[in-house]
Amino acid sequence: MKRLIILGMIIITSMNLSAAEDEGYFLSFSQKGQLIWRGQILGDDGNWYNIRIVPGYVAPTKYACEAWGDASDSFGEYFESKKYKDIADNSGDAYEWAFDKCVNKFIIKGIPESWSDYFGAASNKVEKRIFGWPMAYPVAVFQTFIDNIFRVTAGFTGCALGATAGTVIVPGYYMMDSTVKGGYYFIGPGMILPISGYTWNTVISPPLAVVGQKPSEARSDGYWVTKITPAEFEAKNKDLDEEDLKMIAEWGVILSKNLGKYDEECKKTDVESNKKVQEIYSKANKRKSELNKEESDEFQKMLSSPENREIVKKLEEMGMNHYTVSINYIKLKKSLADKNMSEEQAGKAYLLLMKYSNPKISDKKSISVDKTDPVRESIEVLKKTDK
């Protein structure tokens, strides 16, 4: 044990010496605190940087609150008619699913693809010396191990269940899925994952705070280390109250009522153009351009309209932007539904809110990736196995 400690000290010392010529290489004391507490670092260039492998203590707490809300929604499904309509649905062709998707695609084709994906990403991190790069290959081994074990186990299990059970388990599934989901959200993301995040952060953040280098755009890869724009940082750290959400939802209703027809017209134009593509291709594009121009003109009229002046002013004072709408997606959908909009109408209103919140192209590309820890990363790996 003592030899391992000495070896670790030698490695850290050698890393420090090798970086000594890089002025401003190591994190300041305030940046170390930011890394440990938030898992984010305010760079010397004035931009915040998200360190994905360091969850901090703020993010896991937020995940827990969101998960408990999801648990409440899941148990509430028993009081909705949709669940009982879904019970009548068939499960499809079980044997095709069992042998083609589970064995052929999921196992035989999926395993080599996962090795290529994870080790290719690790090679890129080592080559560019991304923050925490010495852990790239160990993480890749961990990811492929989780992926392959899951593929083999779940694939053959799914094959056996699909070939033997067919549609027998469907009614039982629909009667139990809300309870399972509710229990999962409450216990898993609501309790186990936050504790895992706290534990992992306590282990990983102090040593990285000691040996980690100052982040910059040149040392960001868009995955492990991502730049957070000021607008996104403000949106992530600003909790909208009910009045704010209602106001954005009200604006979504207004956008939908006045601008939703243009999307419908564009879809109808697409259907017509498909019938005689060669003949009306240019005409269809011209018509869509006219509709987009009319929509843009009407939007400008809406902004200057006396009846919309108050809500537009309040939205500007609140600082509504692309990130505000995007990050509060679930809450906004509920608030839109509270205004008697159907799920389809609420979805279209949300898209209009996104379209007219004026995001910059550079900002769109810089949205940061959520935090991770071993348990959460395992879940992410399992999600990616669905190919």
pLDDT in tens, 80-129: 777 767 666 656 566 677 777 777 888 887 888 888 888 888 888 888 88
Report d(CA 386, CA 16) in Å as an integer. 42
Report d(CA 38, CA 383) in Å as an integer. 25
Report d(CA 111, CA 113) in Å as an integer. 5
Residue 158 CB contacts under 8 Å (≥ 6 apart), including other chains: 97, 98, 102, 106
DSSP alpha helix (H) spans, the chain: 2-18, 29-38, 58-75, 81-86, 94-96, 110-128, 136-165, 170-187, 193-211, 230-236, 242-275, 277-304, 309-318, 322-327, 329-337, 343-355, 361-364, 374-384
Report d(CA 82, CA 45) in Å as an integer. 51
List, as own/partner pairs, every contact residues 97-100 make where C-beta atoms lie below 8 angstroms and the sequence separation is at least 24, other chains included: 97/158, 97/162, 98/158, 98/159, 98/160, 98/161, 98/162, 98/163, 99/159, 99/163
Give the model's pLDDT for residue 72: 85
Q: Pick the closest to residue 355 from 286, 240, 262, 287 (CA basis).
A: 262
Give the model's pLDDT for residue 230: 80
Is 164 within a domain?
A: yes
Contact 35, 205 (CB under 8 A): yes
Is 117 within a domain?
A: yes
Chain centre to alpha carbon of residue 367: 9
Query: Does residue 80 sit in helix, strand or coil?
Result: coil
Q: Give the range of the structural domain holding residue 350, as residue numbers without chain letter.
A: 242-364
Contact 225, 131 (CB under 8 A): yes
Give the model's pLDDT for residue 65: 85
How would you classify the pairing of strands 48-51 and 40-42? Answer: antiparallel
Give the model's pLDDT for residue 23: 53
Contact 89, 170 (CB under 8 A): yes
How many structural domains is the chain composed of?
2
202 and 340 part of one domain: no
148 and 175 part of one domain: yes
Is 306 within a domain?
A: yes
Report d(CA 50, CA 47) in Å as an integer. 10
Is 53 within a domain?
A: no
Give the model's pLDDT for residue 251: 92
173 and 289 part of one domain: no
331 and 357 part of one domain: yes
Q: Pick the closest to residue 270 from 257, 295, 287 (CA basis).
A: 287
Is 39 within a domain?
A: no
Print pLDDT tens along the chain (387 aa).
Answer: 455 445 444 444 444 444 443 456 788 888 889 899 988 898 888 888 999 889 898 888 888 888 888 888 888 877 777 776 766 665 656 667 777 777 788 888 788 888 888 888 888 888 888 888 888 888 888 888 888 888 888 888 878 877 775 566 666 666 677 888 788 888 888 888 888 888 988 998 898 888 888 888 888 887 888 888 888 888 877 878 888 889 999 999 999 989 988 888 888 888 777 777 777 777 778 888 888 889 888 988 888 888 888 898 888 888 888 888 888 888 888 888 888 888 888 888 888 888 888 654 444 445 566 777 887 778 777 777 765
Give the model's pLDDT for residue 91: 60
284 and 205 part of one domain: no
Is 247 within a domain?
A: yes
Report d(CA 85, CA 81) in Å as an integer. 7
167 and 247 part of one domain: no
Is 99 within a domain?
A: yes
Residue 146 CB contacts under 8 Å (≥ 6 apart), including other chains: 378, 381, 382
DSSP state for residue 133 in the 8-state scheme: G
Contact 259, 169 (CB under 8 A): no
CA-to-CA dists, residue 311 to 96, 241, 328, 341, angstroms: 54, 16, 19, 19
**Residue 180 tokens, joined:** 């399972």
Give the residue carrying structure tokens 């509710």: 182
77 and 212 part of one domain: yes
Q: If you write DSSP's letter for every residue of 269-335 in order, what string do you get?
A: HHHHHHHTHHHHHHHHHHHHHHHHHHHHHHHHHHHH-GGGHHHHHHHHHHT--HHHHHHTHHHHHHH
126 and 269 part of one domain: no
Give the model's pLDDT for residue 15: 46
Give the side-chain half-sphere CA count within 13 A for 344. 3
pTM, entire model: 0.51
172 and 248 part of one domain: no
CA-to-CA dists, residue 35 to 42, 58, 76, 373, angstroms: 9, 11, 38, 14
pLDDT in tens, 191-209: 888 888 889 889 988 988 8
CA angle 309, 312, 315 (to 5 degrees): 150
278 and 356 part of one domain: yes
Is 51 within a domain?
A: no
81 and 147 part of one domain: yes
Q: Over 334-375, what HEC string results?
A: HHHHCCCCCHHHHHHHHHHHHHCCCCCHHHHCCCCCCCCCHH
333 and 309 part of one domain: yes
